[in-house]
Amino acid sequence: MTEQDDNLKRVLTKVRPCILEFQKIHRELRRDKFTMSDLVIFILQHHQIAPDSASRCLRKMRESGEINYDVPAKKDGLYVWLPLGAPTKAKKPKPKLEQLSLFGDEKKT
């Protein structure tokens, strides 16, 4: 385990309950949409964290299956809570190097 992994684990211990409470409040109010700023402000009311820690913890919790969300408007910073197991918007996978032509177009294989 790297130092970065240790730091994330330590921060997650403090931030996880805040994220779950934030999600619970949104569900009770029937509000599925939120911004990262909303989440960071909520967490900062309970713990002092670096601003990017909230997004790292959120991603880690989604990877572990604790929560689920989508980011339909990344440029607007808009997030949407989803039920566990619900699909998120599919991202087009980047083509592999051997699938690219000299002109940058994808080859049909």
pLDDT in tens, 3-61: 777 787 888 899 999 999 999 999 999 999 999 999 999 999 988 888 788 999 999 99
Q: What is the mean pLDDT of residues 61-67?
A: 94
Yes or no: say if 81 and 39 are a contact pair by the CB < 8 Å rule: no
Yes or no: say if 79 and 70 are a contact pair by the CB < 8 Å rule: yes
Element (H, E) at 33: strand 33-35
Q: What is the pTM of this model?
A: 0.74
Where do the domains of the chain lie?
Answer: 3-81
Q: Which CATH class is domain 3-81?
A: mainly alpha
pLDDT in tens, 72-93: 888 888 999 999 888 877 554 5
